[in-house]
Structure formats: C-alpha cells, structure tokens
C-alpha cells in the first residue's frame, strides 16, 4: 500500500509534506516521517538510533504558519502541513553545510572511494554549484587550481573550454558547460587529482535496476579489459577479460556480453558501406571523386560531437553505422531478448566503457529504437573499479569466466577497436578480402599502428573483377590532431578515401573514463595488451565470427539490409549554431537547408517583439514566401541582432513589430527606433529599398499599432517605397491578429507580384532535433527571463456564490534577484493543468518522463528555454501552450501530416477563403491544440515538429497591487478569474487564472518584473485621478500603499481621488478594510459607481460627469494626471466624459481634444485597458 493511500489507525496522524498527504505514526518526528516516505531532509547531528540533538540546525522545514521548524525535534501532529523544498529552506541548509565545511575542511577534500556522510549531504544541498553536460560534472568547490584540467583541455586536446577563476575551474567566459563546444572527451576528468571534474555517475541507475528485479545485461569494451586490472591491484598492461566478466557477475549481472561482438558487427556494416562508397568513387571522374571526400568512422561519440559542432558540412561523409556500443544495445533488446525469452522492457542494459562521451551518446534521440533507449546506463572503467572495491571483490583471485552467448564471441579484429588505428585495421582485413577475393598479406598492418597523432597510408587493392585500385587512408589520434586534419581537408591540403578518428590520444585505451595513472608509458602498455589480445584470437577477421554469421542468417539478412539500417545505423545533426566558442561567440556555420538559387530575391524580415508574437509572425511570413511563384530568399532576424545600416541597405525589407503599452516600441527595438527617428539621418537613407510594415497590438489602447505606423512613415520619409499600407493585427479580435495579417499579406504579395505556386504541401524538414538526455535539473530551470517565485498567499476575495471570482495572491521575492516599483507589472508564465498534459501525452503517444533537449538544425536556434534537459512532461506543462486556441497556421501545417484523405480535405477547406465562415465557427468554440488533434486523428506530427509548431506559453502581465515601499520582499496581485461559455455551451477558462486559482502556498511560479508607464507622478505635489473598473483596482492598491508610506514619512502630497466602478459592494468590491481605513484617514478620496445596486445603472463615467467641476479643477486648473485601469469600453467612455467636463466648464471642444491629446503624449493620461 502506498503511503498517501494508507488507512490511518489510532496510532497514526495525517500530515502533508510538499503537497502530498501521508499517514504516519504519531510518535514520529517530522524527520522520521519524511525519511519513511523517501523525502530528503538534510541533517548531520540526527541519527535514527540516537535521541535528537538539534545542534547542526540544517534540518529546517517550512511550516504552514510561515515559521521554520527543526525536523529532527518537532513531532508530527494531525493535519500538520509543511514543505521541505522552499527556497528559504534550501538556502538555510546550504548555508549551514557551507559553514560547517569551512570549519572542518578548509581545503577541498580529495574525492575518495567511500565518501563521508557529510560530503554526500554537502553535495546534495549545494548542488547548484555543480555544472554538468550529462557527460562530465564540474564541482568548483573541490578544485585546488592545479591547472591539470586546463592543460589537458587547452594544450593536449586544444579545445580551450576550461579556465581557472580563482574560485575553482569553470567553463571559459562564464558559460554553462552545455553552452560550450565541449565534446565530452573527459580528458579533464582523467587528469584531475581531487575529483573536482568527474564523469556523471550512472551507478545509482544500476542499483535501482537491481532493486527493481530487472534482468541486468552488461557489455564491456575492448579497452576496459586491458585497464580494469589497474583499478584492482593487477599490473598495467595485463588483459583481465575473464576476471572482469566474473566481477560483473558478482555485482549482480545476469548476463555479460562482449562489445567486441558488436565491433565485428560494425565492421560488417561499416565495411559494406565503405565498399559501396568506394565503388561509386572509383567509377566517378577524378573531379567528381575528389568532391565526394573521405568516409569518416563513427565509433567515437566525442568525434561525432566535434564534427556536428565544428565541421557540419562533412556530416554526409560520416559512416551511418552506429558505434559498437549502440549496435550491441539494439541487439540486446531485440535479437538477444527474443532468443532468451525476455521482455525487452524488463532488461536493464548497461555498458562499461573507457569513455565519458558514451554517457551522452546513449541519450541521443537518433539512438532510440521502438520508443526505447537501447543502452540504459554507461559506467566508465573507473566506475567499475569503484564498484569492485566497494563490494570487496578480490579481483585477482576471481576465476576466469566466459562472455554469454549468443552474442559473446568476437574476433581479434573486434578487439582492435580499443586502440587508435584499430578500426581501420579491422575494416581493411574484411574490406580488402571482399574486394580482392583474397586476404590482405599481413593481418598486423604496421602503417596504421602506433601512437603517432596523424598516420597516413595507401593500400593497393587488386579488385577480383577489375584493376588494382588505391585506397588512401588516414588515422587521427586525439581531437587536436583531428581538427588539424579536418582544416587541411577543408583547405584542399589533404585528400583521403577513408579516415578513422579517435578523440582521445591513443584511442579508447586513453579514454577519459580510464583509470588515472602517473605511469608515463601507460598508453603504450595498454596498446601492447590490445595487440597481443588480437594475436591470441582464434579468428582475426570480423566476417569469420560464427555468431556474426548466425545473426545475419537468423535476424538481419545481410549487411546494410533494411532491418540492419533500422537497428544498426543512425543519423546526425548540425549543432554548429547551438554552442558558443571559448570567448562566448556563437559559432557560425552555413545553413544546411533552404538553399536558394543565385536568382532568388533576398527578403530581409526584421521583427521587434515583447512577448514573442512578432517573431512567430516573422517566421510564418518566411515560410509563406517559399510557397510563391517568385523565388524568395527570406532571412529572419531580430531587430536587436542587426545593424540599422544593414536594414537600410537591403532592397526588400519587411518589419514586424508589436506595440507595447501606450504606443511604445518593444524594448528590443529601442536602439533601432532611436537611430531611425534621428533627425540627422539623410533623406535618402532608404532610397532603393522596398518595404512593408506589420504592427501587432490591441485596439484596447488608443495608440493602436502606433509603433508600426511610426516606422512605416519614417522609412517612407527617408526614401523607402512602401509595397502596401502598414498592417494592423488586433490582439483583441476574435481571431487575434489573423484577420489583419491575412489582409496585409494579400496586399504585400500583390505589391510584389507574387502568387501561390500551387505546390502540393509536403512535410518539411524539421527545424529542430530532439535528443534524449540523462536527467533533468530539480527543480527544473524556469522559462527564459523568469525566476522562480514562491506563493505566500492565495485568498478568494469575492463571495463564492458569485459567478465572477477574484483572488488575492502574494509571491515571495526571497531567493530571487527580482525587485519592482509601484505601478509595475508582474509577468507570469503559467503552467498547463496536469490533466491537460496527461491527455496531450496520451494523444501523441509520448513518454512524459523521458528527458530530452531540443537542438536546432541548420541555422535554426533551439526554441528559448528548450535548449536544456527537460522531461517531455515539463516541456508541455511549463513551456508550450497546448491549452491555447489552435491557430490557422497550425491547421495549415497539419495538412501534409493528415493521412486520411477526408481529414486532409477538411483541413484544406477550413484554411481556405471559402471556409472562412466555418473556420470562424470552429474558432468561436475555442478548440485547443489537444482537442484539434483528437479530432484529426490521422495527423500525428513527431515531437520535433510539435516543439516547432506549438507556440510557447507567453507571459501574462498583471498590474502589481502592492508598493515596494511598503512590501519590498513580495509582490501582491488582485486577479479576476477568467471563464466563459462558448456559443455551443463549452466551458472555458483562461490558462493563467485557471491555474492560479488552485495554486498552493509554497508552490513555484515562474515570473519576472516589467516596468509600466502607469506609475505615480514623480512630484508628490501633482494631483491625480485613479479610475478603476473591477480588478482594475490592482495598480491603485499599490498607489494607495505608496501614498500611505509617503504620509507616514511626513512627505506632503497633493490630492488623489479614486473613481472605482464595480457591480455591487457585497459582490465584487475589492478594497480591503485596511485600505478603507486609510481612505478615512485622508490618504486618498474615493467615489464609487455600483452598476447593479439600483434600477438605473451607474458607471464611472456617470460619476465623472456628476463631479465635473472637481474633475475640471484637478485636471485643467491644477495640471493633474489621469490613470485608468479597466476595460476597453470603459476607456472610451472615460475619454469622452473627461473631455465633456472640460467643455461643460467653458473650454472649446477642439481645444479640449487637443489638450487631451497633449496629455497622452506627455504620459499624463495613462491607460491600462483589457
């Protein structure tokens, strides 16, 4: 029985920890209750067999009443509610352990085999200091600044990733490890003397699998057997294959299979691929052959990372064969599982490897087979040694044991994979024999042996059906040498047919996960052991392995067959735009897709965005441009990522901008608009430029799309030729900006003389690749620009019986760097509800617990926030707006995915002009993305398309209902819950408020602070009106707090009058008793308008008319300001009523309107309308 479901007895009480309810013995302390339910609370002095001491004070928890309590000495009580995961609890525990460490361990401790309880707990509570990319981990707190890792990275490997900062080693330039060009070779970890850099451990995965009763299958690489003895008291250079197998069996493995078997399999696949490529190359003209370039080996994952990052133009030259480890993974979970009668889901398959990069390789999305990871964990040779010692296994005394069949036999060729040149030598033994019809003269091919950084040779192959051909080969040992070779190939200085690359010097025997050694000859000793292991083998050619022949006969058919390609081959991704160089610069690379002809018309599409909508429109327009009968070459760029002069020099420019607030340009466009509006610009700055401008905004504001209008007019003034009137996309329209966008693009394409090409829609190449990763940070990182705030309060303000609910929220700013001023906005990025996400994952057959990261292909950058390791559930909960209303672009994008003809035709009709009426009816029912895909069941885009086509959850701005002068460490909001019923009776709710209304105290909320023009006047002597409708009272609650603080500080201030409109005092009147007391104390004046309390409806504008004399005196005579927060309709009525008060008091209407317009420009009449 699970603890949350346990039935209480008389000796138990119910407690709630981190939102989960548990029945626990009433004699328990909080610490005991947490431990019993696997909830971590850090402590040092507490021990289960000792009475509470309470000395370390690390075990604090957050109680429901807001106080901290010590978990070790506080007894549980029925109904008790607490949290162990709040920021202040974590900060308190981390501070305690750092202080204790400073007292007891002034120097960073050496990472021992059996670390102390203190060290392990210290790691847990200070994990935020640790950096990782899923392959290696850097803990700067342990670094002694010896410089070894820097030398290995910068001098030996010439990668330049690491630098000493004086407070421990970190990635260069303040970057995260996964933002750099680190390829995971792990050489830094192999030279670190204190363990500050280490491999990411997968040992706990193995323990968990054993505990779950999984069938444990291990595989071991050739380089492991010649090095594992070094970890266990055996002389360097000894081959310990049999003892290694025995040790793995002793550790709990049910089966141990040989990666060398998969190396033989690799030769069959890669060798066949090489023969095919060479036959094409030999048949081509010399010029054609030279353009084909060499085929590169694909066994080394660090090399794969390197070529994807630095040399993506050569990805097609990589062998498509998976590495032996990944081939073995596919074989274990298909062929082997079937042979042994085991359900693949019950197998835990791990690999023992000499390599840290292998830990990242198993998480590549391209390596997933049948929705399942084929290798579940990777242990380095060092980790295996640690386990052997931890479990007190006497390694030298173990009897030799054999690998398990039917995938345990291997040849000497397979064993050669452990050293540099080995893959080449093994491939030559088989390829030569297939091509020549006879064996190569010597199996030990000297030209590829040894430890030279770059080795070259030419092999003459007498074809059995033709003349002798030359195979030009090369081997690069160490990534520095490989990069030299690649640059020479790029420059035409070197030319080969077949190239082997190993990222570590000496190949796998010198891998980053191998035992650490001070022996200067250690690589030579290991290599000698590999060669002797090959020479002792009964079979020395991969195609002679009887178990290899059997697996092809029974399962694969033949090398490079369809099934072989499905299970044994892979693809690669251009990752050159996803990382930064050592100085933090983006590494540029040519775009791999969308290649345009020389005659294509360049189209520069510039976007200025506040929340991301303009960016979406820009990319939508770029995709639309590719469907026209004129070939365009669209280039999309953010306005703050391009120099203004470059925009002016372009012949065709499209500018797409939002309008923020009262006609303001987005923050990202500030520098561009400052440049464009400069009166000193030459009148012919845009001469020769054709342009079009699209604006996005809301008619709620009087200066609707003002930013777009200003840019349009100014570019025309400076000589540009407008292709069409500037477009206006209205956020408040039922279709959002869709209607305005459609009208504008129709005029734009007409201006350009472009028509639809009429091509049948096809599924495009994905803009992103989705890679499986090892784990997600806990808690996960917040969305871009956000920080995690903590909910302090959630209180219903209105009568529960009423249909319009409003809530008071408070969010703690402790443990954040956020601050605000009176009148500012809090931008909240909400979460989709759990049931919405569950349904979405079910519809799309996605595993929500799988961790992935999104990478761009070609020149595409990954979507913001998705370029880090997240679970698929977290992506669709916190980042993508699956509960939003489906858009026409999404419908259009689904057309090629729809396999059912009727569904495809229905989609084509809905997005057509003829289907506009049905489309509007469809949209009025607020069909979400999930509901849409439930209806169109034959359209099932893969995950890489979903992360592209589903828009990001946009931040929602809420007026802050507090003042920083009174509440500096928290933000208060007054929020109305949004819900409605569609024409056909469907109940709907706003994403943010539906989520917020049920949020719990202690929960996280992703947010940031945004400035606003609606702020109190700088001069307290300026009088002003505050006009609020409903929850529009929120910013003025902040104003009232601000005035109260000025009053208490003795600062004189002029009159402020609040005109507050709502339905009924007992229904939706939101001022608190405290705020009303301040009114009675003279802090402000209030005039109310209750629209439903009398037979005749009374609105705020009626009150303004009623108090026309007072309004006129404040605004006209005393130069007062007006601040409004409420509906669009109310804003229009307000403007007319204020102008009316001026006219009523003798001001000419034309003058009154001019005065009003002037106040708008001077930010003395400020609106927030919705």
The DSSP line for 284-349 is: S-HHHHHHH-PEEP---HHHHHHHHHH-GGGGGGB--BPPHHHHHHHHIIIIIHHHHT--GGGEEE
Q: Please give the CATH topology (third level) of the domain spanning 768-957.
A: NADPH-cytochrome p450 Reductase; Chain A, domain 3 (1.20.990)
Tokens for 1166, please give them: 């400020």
State the average pLDDT for the chain.
88
| pLDDT above 50 for 589 | no
Q: What pLDDT, on the 0 to 100 scale, is given for residue 1066?
A: 84
916: left (phi over 0), alpha (psi -120 to 50) or beta: alpha
Mention every residue, 6+ apart, whose C-beta is less than 8 A from residue 93.
Answer: 42, 58, 59, 60, 125
What is Dmax (Cα atoms) for the chain?
A: 112
- Per-residue buried b or exposed e for 509-546, using 16+ beta carbons within 10 Å of the residue's own CB: bbbbbbbeeeeeebbbbbbebbbebbeebebbbbbbbe
Instruction: Report the range of poorest mean pLDDT among 281-285, 569-573, 765-769, 1037-1041.
Output: 765-769
> In the chain, where does the domain assigned CATH 3.40.50.360 lie?
601-752
The full DSSP string for 900-947 is SHHHHHHHHHHTSSTTHHHHHHHHHTT-BHHHHHHHSTTB---HHHHH
Please tell me the distance from the alpha carbon of residue 196 to that of residue 946, in angstroms, as a whole number. 39
Tokens standing for residue 1064: 């009924």
In 368-452, beta strands by DSSP E: 377-380
Answer whether residue 540 shows pLDDT above 70: yes
**Stretch(es) of the chain classified as CATH 3.40.50.80:** 1015-1169
| Range list for CATH 1.20.990.10 in the chain | 768-957
Q: Over pLDDT 70: what percentage of the chain?
A: 93
Give per-residue pLDDT as tens, 1000-1017: 999 999 999 998 989 999
- Please tell me the predicted confidence (pLDDT) of residue 106: 46
CA atoms of 26 and 1017, how far apart (whole Å):
58
Ordered strands of the 851-856 beta sheet:
768-772, 851-856, 870-871
Residue span(s) of the chain under CATH 3.40.50.1780 come to 206-568
- Helix ranges (H only) for 437-579 are 479-490, 522-535, 546-551, 562-568
Answer for the pair 295, 323: CB distance below 8 angstroms, yes or no.
Answer: no
- The yes-or-no verdict on residue 821 having pLDDT over 90 is yes
- Provide the b/e sequence for 595-625 (b: ≥16 CB within 10 Å): eeeeeebebbbbbbbbbbbbbbbbbbbbbbb
Domain 3-101 adopts which CATH fold?
A: Ubiquitin-like (UB roll) (3.10.20)
83 class by beta-carbon count within 10 Å (0-12 exposed, 13-18 middle, 19+ buried): buried
CA atoms of 496 and 477, how far apart (whole Å): 16
pLDDT digits (tens, 9 = 90+) for 846-900: 888 888 888 887 667 788 889 888 899 999 999 999 999 998 889 988 999 998 8
Ranges of CATH 3.10.20.740 domains, the chain? 3-101
Higher-pLDDT residue of 105, 1031: 1031
Cα separation, 173 vs 165, whole angstroms: 10
d(CA 270, CA 1008): 52
The reported pLDDT for the residue numbered 3 is 34
- Phi, then psi, of 901 in degrees rounded to 5: -60, -45
Residue 600 above 90 pLDDT?
A: no
**pLDDT 10s digits, 102-125:** 665 544 444 444 557 777 676 666
Q: Tell me the CATH number for domain 601-752.
A: 3.40.50.360
Q: What is the fold, at CATH topology level, of the domain defined by 1015-1169? A: Rossmann fold (3.40.50)
**Residue 603 neighbours by CB under 8 Å, 6+ apart:** 622, 625, 632, 633, 634, 635, 652, 654
Strand 1056-1062 to 1165-1169 pairing: unpaired
Q: Which of 421, 478, 470 is nearest to 450 (CA)?
A: 421
The string of pLDDT tens digits covering residues 382-413 is 999 999 999 999 999 999 999 999 998 999 99
| CA contacts within 13 A on the Cβ side of 146 | 16
Residue 637: phi, psi to the nearest 5?
-150, 145
Give the pLDDT confidence of 15-73 residue by residue, as tens digits: 999 878 888 999 999 999 998 887 889 888 888 778 787 788 889 999 988 788 899 98
The reply to whether CATH 3.40.50.1780 applies to domain 206-568 is yes
181-214 pLDDT, tens digit per residue, is: 899 999 999 999 999 999 999 999 999 899 989 9
* 689 within 8 A of 651, measured Cβ to Cβ: yes
Which pLDDT score is estimated for 91? 64
pLDDT confidence bin for 667, thresholds 50/70/90: confident
Average pLDDT of 651-669? Answer: 85
Q: In this structure, are residues 724 and 748 in contact, taking their beta carbons and an 8 Å threshold?
A: yes
* CA 192 to the chain's CA centroid: 30
What's the whole-number mean pLDDT along residues 210-220? Answer: 95
Summarised one tens digit per residue, pLDDT across range 700-730 is 677 788 999 999 999 999 999 999 999 998 8
Pick 130-200's CATH classification: 3.40.50.300, 3.30.70.20, 1.10.4080.10, 3.90.550.10. Answer: 3.30.70.20
């Amino acid at each position: 029985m699970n603890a949350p479901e346990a039935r209480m007895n008389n000796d138990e009480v119910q407690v709630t920890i981190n939102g989960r309810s548990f029945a626990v013995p009433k004699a328990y302390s909080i610490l005991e209750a947490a431990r019993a339910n696997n909830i971590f609370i850090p402590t040092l002095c507490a021990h289960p067999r000792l009475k509470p001491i309470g000395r370390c004070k690390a075990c604090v928890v957050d109680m429901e009443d807001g106080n901290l309590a010590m978990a070790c000495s506080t007894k549980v009580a029925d109904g008790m509610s607490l949290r162990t995961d709040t920021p202040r609890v974590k900060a308190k525990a981390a501070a305690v352990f750092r202080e204790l460490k400073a007292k007891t361990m002034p120097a960073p401790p050496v990472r021992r085999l059996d670390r102390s309880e203190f060290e392990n707990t210290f790691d847990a509570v200070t994990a935020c200091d640790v950096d990782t990319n899923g392959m290696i981990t850097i803990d700067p707190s342990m670094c002694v600044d010896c410089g070894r890792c820097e030398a290995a990275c910068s001098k030996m490997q010439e990668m330049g990733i690491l630098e000493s900062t004086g407070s421990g080693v970190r990635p260069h330039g303040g970057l995260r490890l996964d933002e750099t060009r680190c390829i995971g070779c792990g050489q830094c970890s192999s030279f670190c003397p204190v363990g500050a850099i280490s491999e990411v451990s997968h040992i706990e995965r193995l323990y968990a699998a054993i505990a779950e009763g999984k069938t444990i299958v291990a595989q071991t690489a050739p380089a492991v057997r010649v090095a594992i003895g070094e970890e266990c008291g055996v002389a360097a250079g000894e081959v310990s294959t049999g003892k290694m197998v025995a040790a793995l069996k002793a550790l709990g493995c049910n089966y141990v299979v040989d990666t060398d078997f998969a190396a033989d399999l690799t030769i069959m696949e890669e060798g066949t691929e090489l023969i095919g490529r060479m036959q094409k190359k030999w048949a081509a003209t010399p010029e054609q052959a030279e353009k084909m370039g060499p085929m590169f080996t694909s066994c080394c994952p660090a090399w794969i990372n390197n070529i994807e990052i630095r040399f993506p133009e050569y990805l097609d030259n990589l062998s498509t064969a998976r590495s032996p480890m990944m081939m073995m993974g596919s074989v274990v979970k298909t062929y082997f599982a079937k042979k042994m009668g085991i359900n693949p889901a019950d197998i835990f398959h791990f690999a023992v490897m000499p390599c840290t990069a292998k830990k990242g390789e198993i998480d590549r999305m391209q390596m997933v087979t049948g929705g399942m990871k084929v290798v579940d964990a990777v242990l380095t040779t060092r980790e295996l040694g640690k386990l052997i010692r931890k479990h007190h296994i006497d390694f030298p005394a173990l009897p030799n044991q054999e690998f398990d069949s039917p995938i345990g036999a291997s040849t000497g060729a397979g064993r050669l994979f452990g050293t540099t040149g080995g893959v080449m030598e093994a491939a030559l033994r088989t390829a030569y024999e297939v091509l020549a019809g006879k064996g190569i003269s010597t199996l030990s091919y000297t030209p590829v042996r040894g430890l030279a950084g770059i080795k070259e040779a030419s092999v003459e192959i007498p074809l059995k059906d033709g003349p002798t051909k030359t195979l030009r080969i090369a081997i690069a040992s160490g990534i520095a040498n490989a990069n030299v070779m690649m640059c020479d190939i790029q420059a035409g200085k070197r030319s080969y047919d077949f190239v082997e690359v190993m990222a570590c010097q000496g190949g796998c025997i010198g891998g980053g996960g191998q035992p650490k050694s001070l022996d200067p000859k250690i690589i030579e000793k290991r290599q000698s052991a590999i060669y002797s292991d090959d020479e002792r083998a009964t079979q020395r050619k991969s195609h002679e392995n009887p178990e290899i022949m059997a697996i092809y006969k029974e399962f694969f058919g033949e090398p490079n067959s369809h099934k072989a390609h499905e299970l044994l081959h892979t693809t690669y991704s251009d990752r050159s735009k996803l990382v930064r160089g050592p100085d933090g610069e983006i590494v540029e690379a040519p775009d791999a897709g969308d290649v345009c002809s020389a005659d294509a018309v360049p189209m520069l599409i510039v976007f200025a965005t506040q929340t991301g909508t303009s960016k979406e429109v820009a990319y939508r327009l770029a995709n639309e441009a590719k469907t026209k009968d004129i070939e365009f070459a669209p280039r999309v760029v953010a306005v703050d990522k391009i120099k203004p002069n470059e925009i002016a020099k372009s012949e065709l420019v499209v500018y797409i901008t939002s309008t923020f607030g009262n006609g303001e340009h987005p923050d990202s466009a500030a520098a561009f608009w400052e440049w464009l509006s400069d009166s000193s610009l030459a009148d012919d700055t845009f001469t020769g430029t054709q342009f079009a401008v699209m604006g996005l905004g809301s008619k709620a504001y009087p200066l609707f799309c003002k930013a777009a209008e200003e840019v349009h007019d100014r570019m025309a003034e400076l000589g540009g030729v407008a292709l069409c009137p500037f477009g206006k996309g209205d956020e408040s329209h039922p279709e959002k900006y869709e209607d305005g966008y459609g009208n504008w693009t129709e005029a734009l394409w007409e201006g350009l003389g472009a028509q639809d090409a009429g091509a049948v829609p096809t599924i495009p190449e994905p803009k992103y690749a989705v890679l499986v990763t090892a784990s997600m940070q806990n808690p996960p990182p917040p969305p871009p620009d956000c920080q995690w705030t903590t909910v302090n309060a959630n209180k219903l303000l209105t009568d529960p019986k009423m249909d319009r609910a409003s809530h008071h929220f408070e969010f703690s700013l402790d443990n954040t760097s956020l601050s605000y001023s009176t009148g500012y906005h809090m931008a909240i990025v909400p979460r989709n509800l759990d049931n919405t996400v569950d349904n979405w994952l079910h519809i799309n057959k996605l595993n929500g617990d799988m961790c992935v990261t999104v990478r761009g292909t070609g020149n595409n950058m990954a979507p913001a926030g998705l370029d880090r390791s997240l679970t698929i559930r977290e992506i669709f909960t916190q980042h993508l707006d699956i509960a939003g209303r489906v858009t026409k672009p999404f419908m259009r994008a689904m057309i090629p995915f729809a396999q059912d003809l009727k569904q495809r035709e229905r989609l084509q009709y809905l997005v057509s002009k003829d289907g506009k009426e049905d489309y509007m009816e469809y949209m009025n029912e607020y069909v979400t993305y999930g509901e849409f895909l439930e209806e169109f069941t034959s359209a099932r885009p893969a995950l890489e398309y979903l992360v592209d086509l589903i828009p990001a959850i946009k931040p929602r701005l809420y007026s802050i209902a507090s003042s920083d002068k009174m509440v500096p460490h928290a933000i208060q909001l007054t929020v109305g819950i949004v819900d409605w019923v569609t024409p056909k009776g469907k109940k709907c709710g706003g994403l943010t408020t539906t989520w917020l209304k049920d949020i719990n105290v202690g929960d996280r909320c992703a947010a940031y602070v945004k400035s606003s023009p609606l702020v109190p006047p700088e001069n307290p002597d300026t009088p002003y009106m505050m006009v609020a409708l409903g929850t529009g009272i929120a910013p003025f609650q902040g104003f009232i707090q601000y005035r109260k603080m000025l009053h208490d500080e003795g600062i004189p201030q002029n009159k402020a009058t609040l005109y507050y409109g709502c339905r009924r005092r007992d229904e939706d009147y939101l001022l608190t008793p405290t705020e009303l007391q301040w009114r009675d104390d003279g802090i402000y004046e209030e005039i109310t308008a209750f629209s439903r309390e009398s037979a005749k409806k009374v609105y705020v504008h009626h009150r303004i008319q009623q108090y026309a004399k007072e309004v006129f005196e404040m605004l006209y005579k005393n130069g007062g300001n007006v601040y409004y927060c409420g509906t669009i309709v109310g804003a229009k009525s307000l403007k007319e009523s204020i102008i009316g008060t001026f006219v009523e008091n003798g001001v000419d209407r034309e003058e009154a309107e001019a005065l009003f317009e002037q106040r708008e420009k001077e930010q003395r009449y400020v609106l927030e309308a919705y």
